[in-house]
Structure 1
Amino acid sequence: GIANLLSSIKFAKWYELGEHDIVLTVLTDSMELYQSRLQELREERGDYTEKQAAADYARYLQGMNIEYMEELSYWDRRRIHNLKYYTWVEQQGKTYAEIQAQWYDREYWESVHQQVGHIDELIREFNARTGLLKEFE
């Protein structure tokens, strides 16, 4: 959510977009997932005031700059892609062949898109197990 928003701001600034340009992004997480974290912050720091919100807006959204942005060459993108090895292979048990397929096989991502129905069903099952959505029914 917030990472996508901040990335969009950086993108717009990097490419010097103006009032006639549009950037679209998605905010992926529902605030319902963060209620316990908000409660922790409230207990730790007190109520989040309008004054603090204005300061955060100015600092973190309006103050966003292009620091750490870089246009990547083919080999730069490849280098970053290869950083997946540890998390994909060593942590998640995926194969190196799958990492290679993500890069070289044009059909790989199409096959992922074809799994949307199955992935949606897994999400529904997860939500049912956690009970998260019961309060919205």
Structure 2
Amino acid sequence: MLAAIKTAKYFELGENDVVLTIFTDSVDLYRSRLEELRRERGDYSEIEAARDHAGPVLHQGIDFFKELTYHERKAIHNLKYYTWVEQQGKTSEELNAQWDDEYWRALFEEEVVYFDTLINEFNAM
């Protein structure tokens, strides 16, 4: 979420622009941590929520944001080799296929149609 905020600020996007981001982890992965924090600190209050929102969300800047060149993006992509190939058992061909736009189109085509439908419905309101 913070990367989406930084992206919007970096490119000076406005109220008519959209940045779509995906959260890859479910809150279910963090329930034990939330319970641990509740035991240590008590219930999460509105004041704490306001503080947590005001700091990292409302006052996010473009620090540590870098617009990458092709070769920089490729270097970061290649860092996935260990987790993608060695840990998940994928092939390097599958990893390299991610550079092809068709890979992503095929993977998310149904989702794009779904989001387009939602956007059109919203715009028709």
Instruction: Tell me if both proteins adopt one fold, taking TM over 0.5 as the criterion.
Output: yes
**Displacement, 1:80?**
1.1
Counterpart Cα distance in 2 of 1:52 and 1:33: 22
Map 1:118-133 to 2 at 5 A: none
Task: State the number of aligned residues.
Answer: 111
5+ unaligned residues in a row in structure 2: which ranges?
Answer: 112-125
**Displacement, 1:52?**
1.3
Map 1:19-34 to 2 at 5 A: 19-26=15-22, 31=27, 34=30
**Displacement, 1:90?**
1.2
AA at the equivalent of 2:54: A
AA at the equivalent of 2:43: D
Partner of 1:127: none
Partner of 1:112: 107
Say which SS state the counterpart of residue 55 (structure 1) adopts: helix
Counterpart Cα distance in 2 of 1:28 and 1:91: 18
TM-score, length-scaled by structure 1: 0.65
Does residue 51 of structure 2 align to residue 55 of structure 1? yes
Partner of 2:90: 94
Partner of 1:39: 35
AA at the equivalent of 1:108: Y
Compare relative contact order (CA 8 Å, sep 6+) and give the higher one, 1 or 2.
2
Distance 1:54 1:115, change over 3 A: closer
